[in-house]
Chain A
Amino acid sequence: MTNPTTSEIVARCQELYEDLNFTTAREWKAAEAGRKVIGYLPVYIPREIIHAAGMLPLGIMGGGDNLEVIHGDAYYQSYICRIPRSTVELGVTGRLDFVDGMLFPSICDVIRNLSGMWKMLFPEVYSKYFDVPQTYQDEIGGTFYMGEMNEFRADLEKISGRKITDEALRNSIEVYNENRQLVNELYTLRAQKPWLAPASEAYLVVRAGLVLPVEEHSVLLRQYIDAAQSESRPIKDNSRVVVTGMFCEQPPLNLIKSLELSGCFVVDDDFMLVSRWLIGDVPLEGDPIYNLSQAFLHHSMSTAAKYEPNEEEKGQFLVRAVKETGAEGVIFASTSFCDPALLDRPMLQNVLKAAGIPFIAFKYAENSGQMQPIREQAGTFVDSIKLWSAA
């Protein structure tokens, strides 16, 4: 079998991305009696538990710019971000009618309240507000988190009618470890040779992992990485930037393309953090729930949705990302009305200022149509990097 080209893989991923009916997930479910699908919202959920229950974790990142929101506005005022309203739209228009459960991770007040709304709107579907600790001591936050995970595990056992064994969990952890390694490999490739794996492509490839079974996605990742490395593409006179603030409501694809068009190489980002949340492999030996909790407490990504207990550490993750990827600046792109991202931003900017890293900031919505102002702002940023850099 010949390896598919990047454009073939990307085309497939784009199809998955545009499919607001989640056809592949529907087909997966229909393929075998008794299969269940559990939907989850950003930012992070231990998908391993769902996988171990023999179910398909389905990432729901809003409706994007292809969904015309008709009913969603009946649920949300104009000053609330888009993702909950497009998610509700997906729900009330029946696009999620095959989903057997929904998880609302603790990320902000909007998603939190959405969990209650879901209970009102779809009383017959299992839904859970998935609380996570914001304190990171083993005895305190750890115990609480293990409690939450075990509760969830028990819920899934009830739904599926069979036990989730530690063995199954370990197996799932292994599968996801591999998937995370591949995602990280793709990110590393993009950071090193961004022209080979443009951000808009990498985005689609990683995003496919939200709707595909993880094993299938890992194959896809491998294929894309191999194809990207073997194709030759022209090097552009672009500047390297890290984009941040997009951890929940996803930017429209055109926004990512516009950034590239205006002269940016995106070398790191916080899109769909669930795919990269845990840093490094989760150990396979011992109590799997304990291991997942340890990874969450001590080896996980930073975002605005997390409390940073250590003042000195605030924002350092961003400085490290810049250093590690050789970026020349940071773009803060936040969803309009996203309190976590927007409240965090001034603090992060202060950290960057102190580190002498240039940055700019703008807002978007998942359905932003007009890209010209974004091109202009990103373009001006790149202009000033380019005109004044030593080269």
Chain B
Amino acid sequence: MTLAAGIDVGTGAVKAAIFRVEDGREEWLAKSIMRIRQRDPMQLAREAFDQTLEEAGIKESDLDYIATTGEGESIPFHTGHFYSMTSHARGARFLDPECRAIMDCGALHGRAIITNDPGKVTNYKMTSQCASGSGQFLENIARYLGIAQDEIGKLSVSADNPENVSSICAVLAETDVINMVSRGITSPNILKGIHLSMASRLARLLKSIGVKNELVMMTGGLAQDEGLVEAMREELAKMRGVTAEVTSHTDSIFAGAIGAALWGAFRHDKLAASGMHLKAS
């Protein structure tokens, strides 16, 4: 039996998860999430981790491997670090074993990933250094429109005539949205328009790494946004030569933490098999 924890330090939130792996059975013992909101992510990582320990009813010293991911390279108490795409891919495969492609949409970056059967990342691509079309972008707009984050999805899917939004600066978007509001365009149509524009960018990312008919799992915070998920479906359906289906999961935001924990367990077992022990300190 192997006990492993995964801690995903993001730019929007810190996520933690603990797993028990035994004979290939993966059991999810605990999870915790904390929005960062201008607090110190390293301290939050500790808090989130402690919460999961408590929920799982174990002590830190019981763990065989503490894996970090995201920006957690400098967390002092980790055993090893996996990079986001490695762990998201693994986490997505846990949430839905059928998926072969992963679209991670976090606060700042989008990452398209393809895995092969054993869950190895075979190709990937990240969005560039412009935040246009990121989670933060959507958040800004929602704030301006006076819409709560969990309302976005529902409103978006109710759109009847989505506004055409060309790719715009995440910061200046506000002005464009004002423009739309003043032209009398409804919030659902604005949101859907933005979702479609984001989705078309992400869909292109997916296609560029060679996604054709794989099941695409959305992970990260924005996977919770049914409006974006729906828009991804529409945009992928529009792409010639792509028949990929899109899915999401209520625990999608934990994909990174899950993946890190599972890879941690895997690495531990592999090293243990070769006689090495990297006990969590």
B82: contacting residue among A370, A383, A388, CB under 8 A? A383
**A151 vs chain B, min Cβ distance (A):** 44
Interface centre among A262, A384, A388 (most CB of B within 10 A): A384
- Whether B120 and A388, one on each chain, are in contact in the complex, defined by CB atoms closer than 8 angstroms, is yes
B124 within 8 A of A: yes
**B70-88 contacts to A (CB < 8 Å):** 71, 73, 81-86
A281 within 8 A of B: no
Contacts of B121 in A (CB 8 A): 380, 383-384
- Please, what's the 1-or-0 string for B58-98, where 1 marks a CB less than 8 Å from any CB in chain A? 00000000000001010000000111111000000000000
- Please, what's the 1-or-0 string for A349-391, where 1 marks a CB less than 8 Å from any CB in chain B? 0000000000000000000001011011101101110011001
**A317-375 contacts to B (CB < 8 Å):** 370, 372-373, 375
- Whether B83 and A262, one on each chain, are in contact in the complex, defined by CB atoms closer than 8 angstroms, is yes
Which chain A residue lies CB-closest to B270?
A: A387
A240 to B260, CA, bound (A): 23
A354 to B267, CA, bound (A): 30
A388: contacting residue among B73, B83, B84, B118, CB under 8 A? B118
Contacts of B85 in A (CB 8 A): 376-377, 380
A372 to B84, CA, bound (A): 11
Which chain A residue lies CB-closest to B90?
A: A387
Which chain B residue lies CB-closest to A377?
A: B126
Q: Indicate whether A387 sits within 8 Å of B129 (C-beta atoms), given known contacts A380-B83, A380-B84.
A: no
- Whether B84 and A376, one on each chain, are in contact in the complex, defined by CB atoms closer than 8 angstroms, is yes
Contacts of B124 in A (CB 8 A): 377, 380
- Whether B83 and A379, one on each chain, are in contact in the complex, defined by CB atoms closer than 8 angstroms, is yes
Interface centre among B71, B83, B86, B267 (most CB of A within 10 A): B83
Interface size class of B (residues with CB under 8 A): 20 to 34
- Whether A376 and B263, one on each chain, are in contact in the complex, defined by CB atoms closer than 8 angstroms, is no
A383: contacting residue among B73, B86, B129, CB under 8 A? B86
B129: contacting residue among A373, A379, A391, CB under 8 A? A373
A388 to B86, CA, bound (A): 12
**B115 vs chain A, min Cβ distance (A):** 9
Contacts of A261 in B (CB 8 A): 73
B266 within 8 A of A: yes
A379 to B120, CA, bound (A): 14
Which chain B residue lies CB-closest to A372?
A: B71
**B102-128 contacts to A (CB < 8 Å):** 109, 118, 120-122, 124, 126
Interface size class of A (residues with CB under 8 A): 10 to 19
- Whether A387 and B120, one on each chain, are in contact in the complex, defined by CB atoms closer than 8 angstroms, is yes
Contacts of B71 in A (CB 8 A): 372
**B57 vs chain A, min Cβ distance (A):** 30
A387: contacting residue among B73, B81, B109, B266, CB under 8 A? B266
A283 to B263, CA, bound (A): 55
**B123 vs chain A, min Cβ distance (A):** 9
A379 to B223, CA, bound (A): 24
A383 to B274, CA, bound (A): 18
- Whether B83 and A376, one on each chain, are in contact in the complex, defined by CB atoms closer than 8 angstroms, is yes
Q: Indicate whether A380 sits within 8 Å of B129 (C-beta atoms), given known contacts A387-B120, A387-B267.
A: no
Contacts of B129 in A (CB 8 A): 370, 373
A20 to B202, CA, bound (A): 41
Contacts of B120 in A (CB 8 A): 384, 387-388
- Please, what's the 1-or-0 string for A66-93, where 1 marks a CB less than 8 Å from any CB in chain B? 0000000000000000000000000000
A373: contacting residue among B109, B267, B274, CB under 8 A? B109
- Whether A373 and B126, one on each chain, are in contact in the complex, defined by CB atoms closer than 8 angstroms, is yes
**B256 vs chain A, min Cβ distance (A):** 12
A371 to B74, CA, bound (A): 15
Contacts of A375 in B (CB 8 A): 73, 83
A261 to B83, CA, bound (A): 12
Which chain A residue lies CB-closest to B126?
A: A373
A379 to B67, CA, bound (A): 14
Which chain B residue lies CB-closest to A384?
A: B121
Contacts of B82 in A (CB 8 A): 379, 383
Contacts of A370 in B (CB 8 A): 129
**A78 vs chain B, min Cβ distance (A):** 13
**A349 vs chain B, min Cβ distance (A):** 12
A372 to B109, CA, bound (A): 11
Q: Which 3 A-B pairs have the closest CB atoms?
A: A379-B83, A383-B86, A380-B85
**A and B contact pairs by CB, cutoff 8 A, 8 listed:** A373-B109, A375-B73, A382-B83, A384-B86, A384-B121, A387-B86, A387-B266, A388-B120
